[in-house]
């Protein structure tokens, strides 16, 4: 489903080169929910942005649903992202001048889906994330946890193969964090959407089926949750 092969990444600023990710390989199977754990600066967001096709890696390959996203040109990649990849951000990133329903529908507007079809799907998803009564409110009229529910619904509306979430509960209190994680888990189990969730909190990672740990840009094995280390040094995650 998602395969990362011998991935390395460096940032260049003027003459200065910062190596951030070192020779990372792993596989995630369809329907798995994986936490990407690591301390601040370990390279989690960089890895997530590379997997989501938001930047190109210095070295290595990324395959999503059998497609090499590293080999795609900008136009192809943008189209692939719209169809196959969902994103949930720490700061929700909802549009303030659109209602909750319109925010959720937005990815389908870009795909020229009929308004009546979009609306129906958005309302179904609002139900799934537990706030069916908020459709006509604006983001500023919702709590942080409710806004994150909207952003989860928006990420799901294109029925993506994989959803990347960068610290989705980073701005929330512990109780709301637990609620959001419970929603993600239920969606993972009912829709079989693959989730990769970045977090620096062990407690959040403990809620997922599998954990990948980054330390200083390298992947370290988590013995309890990772089933198989590949001969190449990569890690294959198998369902329990």
In the shown chain, the binding pattern of residues 186 to 225 toward Mg ion, with x for contact by CB under 5 A and - for none, equals ----------------------------------------
> Is 232 in a helix, a strand, or coil?
coil
Task: Give me 52's structure tokens.
Answer: 């989501």
**Residue of the chain from 42, 161, 169, 193 that contacts ligand ATP (CB under 6 A):** 42
**Residue of the chain from 3, 25, 32, 46 that contacts ligand ATP (CB under 6 A):** 46
HSE (side-chain half, CA atoms, 13 Å) at 84: 19
- Between residue 9 and residue 38, which ones bind ligand ATP under the rule CB under 6 A? 11, 13, 18, 20, 38
Q: Is 55 in the site for ligand ATP (CB under 6 A)?
A: no
Query: Which partner, Mg ion, ligand ATP, none, binds residue 15 by CB below 5 to 8 Å per kind?
Result: none
Which range in 43-51, 73-81, 104-112, 187-195 contacts ligand ATP by CB under 6 A? 43-51
Task: Give me 126's structure tokens.
Answer: 């609002």
Cβ proximity of 118 and 108 under 8 Å: yes
Supply the minimum distance, in Å, between the C-beta of residue 8 and ligand ATP: 13
- The most distant pair of C-alpha atoms in the chain lies apart, rounded to whole Å, by 54
**Residue of the chain from 3, 45, 193, 207 that contacts Mg ion (CB under 5 A):** 45
Supply the minimum distance, in Å, between the C-beta of residue 203 and Mg ion: 17
Using left for φ > 0, alpha for ψ between -120 and 50, and beta otherwise, residue 112 falls in: left
- Of 131 and 163, nearer to Mg ion (C-beta) is 163
**Residue of the chain from 24, 26, 44, 187 that contacts ligand ATP (CB under 6 A):** 44
Query: Which partner, Mg ion, ligand ATP, none, binds residue 75 by CB below 5 to 8 Å per kind?
Result: none
How many chain residues are in contact with Mg ion, going by CB under 5 A?
Answer: 1
- Of 31 and 60, nearer to ligand ATP (C-beta) is 60
Binding residues for Mg ion, per CB under 5 A?
45
Footprint of ligand ATP (CB under 6 A): 11, 13, 18, 20, 38, 40-46, 200
């Amino acid at each position: 489903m998602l395969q990362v092969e011998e991935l390395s990444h460096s940032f260049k600023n003027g003459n200065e080169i910062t190596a951030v990710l070192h020779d990372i390989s792993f596989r995630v199977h369809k329907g798995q929910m994986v936490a990407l754990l690591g301390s601040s600066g370990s390279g989690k967001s960089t890895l997530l942005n590379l997997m989501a096709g938001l930047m190109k890696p210095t070295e290595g390959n990324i395959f999503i649903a059998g497609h090499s996203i590293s080999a795609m040109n900008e136009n192809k990649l943008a189209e692939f992202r719209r169809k196959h990849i969902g994103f949930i951000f720490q700061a929700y990133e909802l549009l303030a001048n659109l209602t909750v329903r319109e925010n959720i529908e937005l990815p389908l507007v870009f795909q020229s889906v009929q308004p009546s079809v979009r609306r129906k799907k958005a309302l179904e998803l609002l139900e799934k994330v537990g706030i069916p009564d908020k459709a006509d409110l604006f983001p500023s009229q919702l709590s942080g946890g409710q806004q994150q529910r909207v952003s989860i619904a928006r990420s799901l509306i294109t029925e993506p193969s994989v959803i990347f979430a960068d610290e989705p509960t980073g701005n929330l209190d512990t109780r709301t964090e637990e609620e959001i994680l419970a929603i993600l888990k239920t969606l993972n189990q009912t829709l079989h959407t693959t989730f990769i969730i970045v977090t620096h909190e062990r407690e959040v990672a403990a809620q997922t089926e599998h954990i990948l740990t980054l330390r200083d840009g390298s992947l370290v094995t988590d013995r309890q949750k990772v089933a198989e280390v590949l001969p190449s040094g990569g890690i294959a995650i198998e369902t329990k």
